[in-house]
Amino acid sequence: MYLTKEEERMLEGEFGSGVAYSMRVLTKLGDAMDAERMIKPVSSHIVSLGYQGYGDLAKWCKDLDEKMLDDVKQFRISATTNPKFFKPEDKKLIEKFGMSSSTVEEIREGVNWSKKFEDLGAIPAYTCTPFFVYPIRKGEHLAGAESVAVVMYNSIYGAMLNRETGPTALSSAVTGITPEFGMHKPENRYARVQVDLDKALKPKEFTRADYSALGYYVGKIAMDRNVVFTGLPKDMSVGLLKTLLAPLGVSGAVMLAHVVGVTPEAPTLDDALMGRKPEEKIEVGKEQLEEMYGMLTTTTEDKADIAIFGCPHAPLEEINEISQLVNGKKIRDDASFLIGTAEPIKVLADRMGLTNTIEKCGGLIVTDICPHLFFNPGFIDIELKHSINTVATDCTKCAHYVSGFSGGKIKMKYGSVESCINAIAKRGD
């Protein structure tokens, strides 16, 4: 691929070994994808399992990060950060789960790796929904990993980026460039799979769990192909769009999903298809949604040990809805519920009194972390005050990963926020 004079100097090591290593990563990627040149993204969303993982996994990834960061004093472009494995400063969370101080210290050592990124200029967003805190204009190029961020920035903001890996995202932050291929090229952004809703479905009455199940079903069929949804309400909020689109990158690897009449590149169906015929048309009805509920639910128990919301991280509207639902209720003493969000969103939730309502019920709003990794036996083996065998959630990504990472040991109860709260509520509440 063509490299400018400066890019060649970076590759040859003139700017240090970390820059040269990162250039090798990006030129190999560019060559593999037939890119002709590099372009300059405005930002990169960094996912590092060096601080998002635990144990050997974190160590191996940190070793790789170190190679890319050797001699690097400052990232060349703006960068945001994905959630950490755990937040050792969150005393409420530690107390609620009865974590020992030795476990907390061991985790602290691992997640402290994230400070390195902050020192190089990364914005300490620690969220999988950077689009709620770092907005982007239509047509701007980005680099980065985290499937939710990719599908949302592409589809809802009209930004242009590919589904990348942790190492390529970090390489872009280090070098300030990314190879031009895939979603960076306007001609590749047309929809190949058209999704129509059965007329009997009433999406205006959908719960978040229904929207998430719809996205999960479509992702399984679309795989890595661009999608267009027809028949969805024109007034869907960005929060609901996040709920619908996030699962497309979990059951599939979709990077761009147009919603006709809603998303920037799809005022009409024809615009989304760029005048072509769809390769495949899917009709989704009640039966397909029920199939997803059945697939994601792996327990017949009524009760759960914990309910998890905010995977991907919840915007204010979602926290507000949950807070209204739990207002005046109490959950069992041996149960808990967590809502994952970004720190700036929690600051607003605190000011609005939502955090107080949630804590009075027995729940916690947690920031900077994935709300379900730290108790998963697939990652960590620790004693908690109350054992967690069953998780209730309205997020397909959470159901998919908790069950998958634990090798099926943790059972899932998939459903609406209301049904999840019922599964952990005190009798009579």
Shortest gap between Cβ of 82 and ligand F3S (angstroms)? 6
3-state SS of the chain is CCCCHHHHHHHCCCCCHHHHHHHHHHHHHHHHCCCCCEECCCEEEECCHHHHCCHHHHHHHHHHHHHHHCCCCCCCCEEEECCECCCCCCHHHHHHHCCCHHHHHHHHHHHCCHHHHHHCCCECCCCCCHHHCCCCCCCCEEEECCHHHHHHHHHHCCCECCCCCHHHHHHHHHHCCEECCHHHCHHHCCCCEEEEECCCCCHHHCCHHHHHHHHHHHHHHHCCCCEEECCCCCCCCHHHHHHHHHHHHCCCCCCCEEECCCCCCCCCHHHHHCCCCCCEEEEECHHHHHHHHHHHCCCCCCCCCEEEECCCCCCHHHHHHHHHHHCCCCECCCCEEEEEECHHHHHHHHHCCHHHHHHHHCEEEEECECCCCCCCCCCCCCCCCCCCCEEEECCHHHHHHHHHHCCCCCEEEECCHHHHHHHHECCCC
CB of 15 to ligand F3S, least distance (A): 31
The CB-of-307 to ligand F3S minimum distance in angstroms stands at 14
Residue closer to ligand F3S, measured from CB, 189 or 400: 400
Would you say 21 or 86 has its CB closer to ligand F3S? 86
Least Å from the CB of residue 111 to ligand F3S: 14
Shortest distance, CB of residue 365 to ligand F3S, whole angstroms?
13
Tokens of 242: 């996040």
The CB-of-304 to ligand F3S minimum distance in angstroms stands at: 18
Residue (15 or 97) nearer to ligand F3S, CB: 97
Nearer to ligand F3S, 168 or 393 (CB): 393
Nearest approach, Cβ of residue 428 and ligand F3S (Å)? 32
CB of 266 to ligand F3S, least distance (A): 24
Nearer to ligand F3S, 276 or 409 (CB): 409
Sign of the dihedral through C-alpha 191, 193, 194, 196: negative
Minimal distance in Å, beta carbon 153 to ligand F3S? 14
Positions in the binding site for ligand F3S (CB under 6 A): 82-83, 128, 148, 311-313, 340, 370, 397, 401
Smaller CB separation from ligand F3S, 399 or 423: 399
Quote the DSSP letter at residue 183.
G
Alpha-carbon dihedral sign for residues 158, 163, 165, 166: positive
Q: Of 41 and 83, which has the nearer Cβ to ligand F3S?
A: 83
**How close are the terminal C-alpha atoms of the chain, in Å?**
64
**Shortest separation between residue 370's beta carbon and ligand F3S, angstroms:** 3
Residue number with CB closer to ligand F3S (43 or 376): 376
Q: Which residue's CB is nearer to ligand F3S, number 176 or number 340?
A: 340
Is residue 429 within 8 A of residue 325, CB to CB? The reply is no
Residue 225 or 313: the one with the smaller Cβ distance to ligand F3S is 313
